[in-house]
Every structure is written in C-alpha cells, then in structure tokens.
Amino acid sequence: MPGTEAPRETPGALPSTRPRPEGRPRTTPSRRDGADPVVDCAVYVDGRRQAPVHPHEALREATVHGGFVWLGLYAPTEAELSSIAGHYGLHPLAVEDAVYAHQRPKLERYDDGLFMVLTTARYVEHEELTASSEVVDTGEVMVFLGTNYVITVRHGEHGGLTDLRRSLESQPDLLRLGPAAVLYAVADHVVDAFVDVAAAVEEDVDELEASVFSPERTDDIGRLYQLKRELLALRRAVSPLEVPLQKLAERQMDFVPDAMRSYFRDVEDHAIRVRDQVAALDELLTSILQASLARTSQADNEDMRKISAWAGIIAVPTAIAGIYGMNFEFMPELQWRYGYPLVLLVIVTACVLLYRGFKRNGWL
C-alpha cells in the first residue's frame, strides 16, 4: 500500500524445491526502482471495505472479523513476494510462477489455496496496419486464493485492477460471497477485454479483406502475416482459459462456494464465445492470405501475357527489318520504287492484326 513500510524478509517462507529452468526469462518489473509493489490492500467484512491496514496485519484482521483481505501487487520481486508468502502461507512453487511469469493460463490446487494464471490482452491502436504493427499486447495476472485472502499479482503495462476494485466495492452483495467473488471479477474482467480486442482485430481483418479484393493492385501479404501472428498471441491467451474456468464452474472446491459456480459458468461461456470468434478470424485470415497469393500469382501471369503479346508484335518488324538488313545484292523488290512503302504497310498491317488478336483473347 502506498506509503507503508516495505515488506521484510520472513524466515518462515519455504524455499522452492523446483530448480529454476536454465535460461528462463525473468519478468522485469515495469515500476520505478524502490517503488512499493503493493497497489492496494483492504479488508472486507460483510462485503464492506474496512479501515486501512498493513499487508502483514491484514490477514489477522480479516480472520478475526470473519472477512477476507484483497492484496493487489504489481510486478513484485522475488524477495518482496517471498516476504508476503511467509505471512499468507503461499506455496513456494506458485510464488516462483508469480514472480517469473510467462505462464500459460492455468488453475492449480494446493493444500492451502488455489493459484490461477490469466493472460491479459490489450488492443494497440494504430493509424494504419503495416507489416510490423503491434496489434495485441499481452500481460499476466496471477491470483492466489485462500479461505480469508485473495492476492492478485499483475505483470505488464496494462490490465490494471483499480477500477475493477471500485466496481466490486459498489456491489457488497457479491463481495459477501468471499474471495472467490474477486477471482470471478478478475476472470470476467480479463475475458471482457478479450471480447473488445477480438472486435477491434475483426475490424483490421475487414480492412485487409477489402484491400485484397479491391480493384487496385495491392501487396498485403506482409500485413496479413503480421496480423495472423498477432492473432496467434490472442489465441494463446484465450484457448487455455477454458479448462480452468470449466473446473471452477463444475467442480466442488473448498475455496469456491457453490453460489459462485454459476458466475464462473457465465465467464466460461464468454470465453468459449471469444475462442470461437478468434478461431473464425484466424481461418478467415488464412483464406484471405490464400486469396492474396492467388491474386498476386494471377497478376504475375497477366503481366507475363502482356509482355509476351508485345514481344510477339515487336517480333514482326524486327524479323522483316532483319531480313532486309542482310545486305545481299539480289533481293526481291530492292530496286522497286514502292518496295519500301509496301514493306512498311506489311509491318503495320501485321502488327495491327496481332494487336487485335491479343486484345480479343485478353492478353492486352
């Protein structure tokens, strides 16, 4: 929480028994050096936010009053999150995943709670789609869920949960359902963002489709390939989310009340709808790419026919001039007064006939 003392290392935090993979990228915090990783920390009792409390004291206060604590973190370091893990009893393997990020969307069950990873997405506005445009920007939100706590860990420049927290605080009936209500709200927020991103990407697809089939000759292969790559990032964020949401909606879990299962089922339906929309866009892009390649090949063939037609027309005067340029003494019509005009007439007539033939056959 801004202005509070920085968390101290707690000896009770258990070390991870999993070796760190060689070369595994570490998520570099996007916040200022020395800034507090705690974005907000609040205790909720009967759906109402209580007086401010230090993150290290929040769990005790929530347990005493029969509520829960929602602790929001932004890009914490390993030491910072390990300190908090010691107070909340977080599993060391989940802590490692939350610090080093770059995880697929998933839901893991530990003895003392749940750990869920969600990939966030944001549409990057651009004036014109190019072969190097960034269209989809992704981040991550990790959620630790326990009996009396929910901890959200965010990575990336977008996906802030401040507005979501304010919206939830205006719905005390939902917050009364406990920490699972926060997990539902975060998942719903992430999936709603997917809906917006998919709708914006669909507009880009429509623009490319119109460009490919326009009368003007355009080269859209680079832009199509780039958009297909960006759409793949969105697909990787959406598709794996179906299984975790299905577990939350259909399986009984200690930390998820039965009343929340219908909420997660609704989010699952939205996620499936977005997944199908993204898959349809990907298939449409594949078809547009094939059409663009076909049009490019067709344009090349037309150019080759035109070149061949003009080469055939030019071959007539070239051949005749080549014959009379051999400089033999005895050649037909060399001494005839009208020989030269006749040859020119033959050349023009042959060229006109060839031009009309090629034009009629669509070569010119």
Each domain of the chain, given as residue ranges in start order, spans 38-296, 301-360
- Residue-level pLDDT at 64: 92
* Euclidean distance between CA atoms 300 and 138, whole angstroms: 39
Best CA proximity match to 224, nearest among 121, 302, 135: 135
Amino acid at 200: A
Q: How many CB atoms lie within 10 A of CB 95?
A: 26
Over residues 248-254, the mean pLDDT reads 88
Best CA proximity match to 3, nearest among 35, 33, 29, 25: 35
Residue 233, classed as helix, strand or coil, is helix
- Residue-level pLDDT at 325: 74
Higher pLDDT, 218 or 88: 88
* Euclidean distance between CA atoms 46 and 212, whole angstroms: 58
Q: How many CB atoms lie within 10 A of CB 361?
A: 10
Fold classification of 38-296 is Beta Polymerase; domain 2 (3.30.460)
For the cut 90, the answer to whether the pLDDT of residue 144 exceeds it is yes
C-alpha R_g of the chain: 34
151 - beta bridge partners? 71, 144
Task: State the pairing for strand pair 149-155/136-145.
Answer: antiparallel
Higher pLDDT, 256 or 297: 256
User: Which pLDDT band, with edges at 50, 70 and 90, does 361 fall under?
Assistant: confident
- Residue-level pLDDT at 159: 66
* Euclidean distance between CA atoms 223 and 160, whole angstroms: 30
- Residue-level pLDDT at 33: 56
- Residue-level pLDDT at 17: 39
- Residue-level pLDDT at 32: 54
For the cut 60, the answer to whether the pLDDT of residue 11 exceeds it is no
- Residue-level pLDDT at 262: 93
- Residue-level pLDDT at 266: 94
- The CATH number, out of the four listed (3.40.50.1370, 1.20.120.1770, 3.30.540.10, 1.20.58.340), of the domain defined by the range 301-360: 1.20.58.340
Amino acid at 241: L
What mean pLDDT, rounded, does the chain reach?
83
Burial (CB count within 10 angstroms: exposed 0-12, middle 13-18, buried 19+), residue 133: middle
For the cut 80, the answer to whether the pLDDT of residue 337 exceeds it is no
Is-contact 98 25, C-beta < 8 A?
no
Q: How many CA atoms lie less than 13 Å away from 63 in the CB half-sphere?
A: 9
- Residue-level pLDDT at 22: 39
Buried b or exposed e, range 160-170, using 16+ CB within 10 angstroms: bbeebbeebbe
- Residue-level pLDDT at 203: 92
Over residues 11-15, the mean pLDDT reads 38
For the cut 80, the answer to whether the pLDDT of residue 351 exceeds it is yes
Instruction: Say which residue the tokens 């901890």 belong to.
Output: 151
Do 38-296 and 301-360 have matching folds? Answer: no
Long-range contacts of 285-289 (CB under 8 A, 24+ apart): 285/205, 285/208, 285/224, 285/227, 285/228, 285/231, 286/228, 288/205, 288/208, 288/209, 288/212, 288/224, 289/221, 289/224, 289/225, 289/228
Is-contact 309 356, C-beta < 8 A?
no
Q: What is the pLDDT of residues 257-278, one digit of tens each?
A: 999 999 999 999 999 999 999 9
Is-contact 52 68, C-beta < 8 A?
no
- Residue-level pLDDT at 13: 39
Higher pLDDT, 53 or 295: 53
* Euclidean distance between CA atoms 84 and 71, whole angstroms: 10
- Residue-level pLDDT at 350: 84
